[in-house]
Amino acid sequence: MSVTDLTPPAVFSGILGTERVIPGGPAASAWLRDFSWYSPVLENALADTTVDAVLRPETVDQLRACVAAAAGLRIPVTLRGAGTGNYGQSLPLQCGVVIDVRDVAGVLDVTPGRIAVLPGTVMKDAETAARATGQELAVMPSTYRISTASGFVSGGSGGIGGAAHGDLWDDNVLAVELLTVEESPRTVRLEGDDVRPVLHTYGTIGVLTRIEFRLVPARDYTPVVVAFPDLLALAGFAHDLVSGDLHVRLCSVHEAAGAAMLTPITAFYSPGEDVALLWADTAQLPELEAAATAAGGRTIAWTVKPHISQFPFSHSILWSRKAAPASSWLQCEYASDRAEFLGQVAALRTAYPGVFLQHIEVITSAGRTRPMGITPLVGLPDHEQALEELIGFCRGLGMTVLNPHSYVVEEGGFVGDTAQVVALKTTCDPHGLLNPGKLGDSFFTSRGLTPPSARAAAR
């Protein structure tokens, strides 16, 4: 066998056929982009991403063969779904192969309270299959129309449904099966809390082949806009709504200046009005309208073509970048306590008017209300220094800041039990080939486990 036969494109062409192996270079450029351009820092940091080849398996057996070959060659492997991530989750830091799993797709099984899917299954297809049985996904990404199951689990955190059922860590991923990255890959099944090291760790732990999501009884939903003349009144209403008895699948609060950037729906409300986008239980609309009116707001029917899912969560950053191309963003978590939360909203509005455009996704998690900020930053001078000052201000208010300007998992604040992560990573990726560099600080300072806990303590 010649040296040429051992190059990654040649090796993997023997497994998949040449039409399913895209060699590195211009042909592979589409697989080296995601939405990390939301951040000017990441846009620069990931500008020179390269790859030897992109692989497009169609079955779990082909995926297994690709993993085995990569392990034998000791080349880095990065798994990729639809590429909707914002932090460079699926962009390799080292040359190697990117495996596009979108064709390894399909619903495997739907039972009461559970749906099992292959890794490349589009979340909308999972939702459709669940609804055919009178159920729905407890939580799904706002990009559910294109996002894949494995991409959501590996690179996401929550989304639509979070107002009622929390995020991925709230027992909404019931089980996974993954391949180890070895010359003879093994299948490892994880259930319950053992799934946690796989959640939002950017595919660094193992190669997902099966995901089982939690289902809940299906409801009929109606999109509604609620407009208020005052941000604090709106924030209080949203907190009360998610904390109360009315059911909403989405509660997305937008300060007036940010709401003005959501151009397809600005005809719904007047300039200067703060708004919440709600996906509400249709049967409870009269009670919802009464609650909004009592709190000082007004409800508006959704009458435009764009779906409500095109505006909450990180979609707001897309709209703000369109309106203000030099803008940036920040992710943060406000206090669960209502009074403290409203105090933080007021302090930020006073300190950063017209700059920190508050956008808050209100979810419920672990029995408490959690306001999550996904905030456009407009006109922030000297970006990196000003960003650090802003982060310091937020932390001084008692907020948790999740840095969206880093491709490192730890910086996003999602590393949980580090010992559990290390143990599973060691078992499933003994050669350290999966998306190397993404776990951060030389993979927890040579397994000392200090950086994540130290950062958590500092915050």
Q: Is residue 414 part of a domain?
A: no
- The answer to whether residue 446 scores a pLDDT higher than 60 is no
CATH number of domain containing 294: 3.40.462.10
Which residues are bridge partners to 223 per DSSP? 279
C-alpha–C-alpha distance, residues 270 and 171, integer Å: 40
Read off φ and ψ for residue 160, nearest 5 degrees.
-65, 130
Query: Which of 77, 100, 123 finishes a domain?
Result: 100
The string of pLDDT tens digits covering residues 165-196 is 999 999 999 999 999 999 999 999 999 999 99
Residues 379 and 328 both lie in one domain: yes
CB atoms < 10 A from the CB of 229, how many? 14
- Is the pLDDT at 457 greater than 50? The verdict is no
**Digit-coded pLDDT (tens) for 348-377:** 999 999 999 999 999 999 889 999 999 999
pLDDT tens digits for 87-141?
667 777 888 999 999 999 999 999 999 999 999 999 999 999 999 999 999 999 9
- Indicate whether 15 and 74 sit together in one domain: yes
Which domain CATH number covers 202? 3.30.465.10
Distance CA 417, CA 65 (A): 31
Residues 174 and 314 in one domain: no
- Residue 429 is assigned to a structural domain of this protein: no
Domain endpoint, select from 52, 81, 100: 100
Please check whether residues 337 and 249 belong to one and the same domain: yes
Is the domain of 255 the same as that of 194? Answer: no
Of 163, 190, 217, at which residue does a domain stop? 217
**Element (H or E) spanning 41, and its range?**
helix 40-45
Distances (CA, A) of 364 to 27, 156, 281: 43, 17, 16
- One domain, residues 229 and 284: yes
Q: Measure the CA–CA gap between 398 and 332, rounded to whole angstroms.
A: 10
How confident is the model over 383-440, as pLDDT tens digits?
A: 678 888 999 999 999 999 887 767 667 655 555 667 788 889 999 999 999 988 878 6
What pLDDT shows up at residue 40?
67
441 contact partners, CB below 8 Å, separation of at least 6 = 408, 410, 451
DSSP 142-189: TTTTT-BHHHHHHH----BTHHHH--TTTTTEEEEEEE-SSSSPPEEE
The domain of 265 spans 222-402
Which DSSP state fits 122? B
370 and 283 in a single domain? The answer is yes
197 plus 77 within the same structural domain = no
Does 129 fall in a domain? yes
Q: Is 205 a member of any domain?
A: yes
Q: Which position has the token pair 């559910």?
A: 144
Residue 428 lies in a domain: no
- Identity of the residue numbered 272: G
Residues 368 and 235 in one domain: yes
Contact 241, 222 (CB under 8 A): no
Q: What angle do CA 410, 369, 199 make, to 5 degrees?
A: 30
Q: What is the CATH number of the domain that holds 16?
A: 3.30.43.10
How many angstroms separate the CA atoms of 179 and 205, rounded? 9
Domain contains 44: yes
Is position 455 within any domain?
no
Mind giving me the DSSP string for 392-415?
A: HHHHHTT-EEE-TT---GGGGT--
Question: Whole-angstrom Cα distance, residue 365 to residue 158?
Answer: 11
Residues 287 and 391 reside in one and the same domain: yes
Q: Which two tokens stand for residue 148?
A: 């894949």
When divided into structural domains, the chain yields a total of 3
Clarify whether residues 264 and 289 are in a common domain: yes
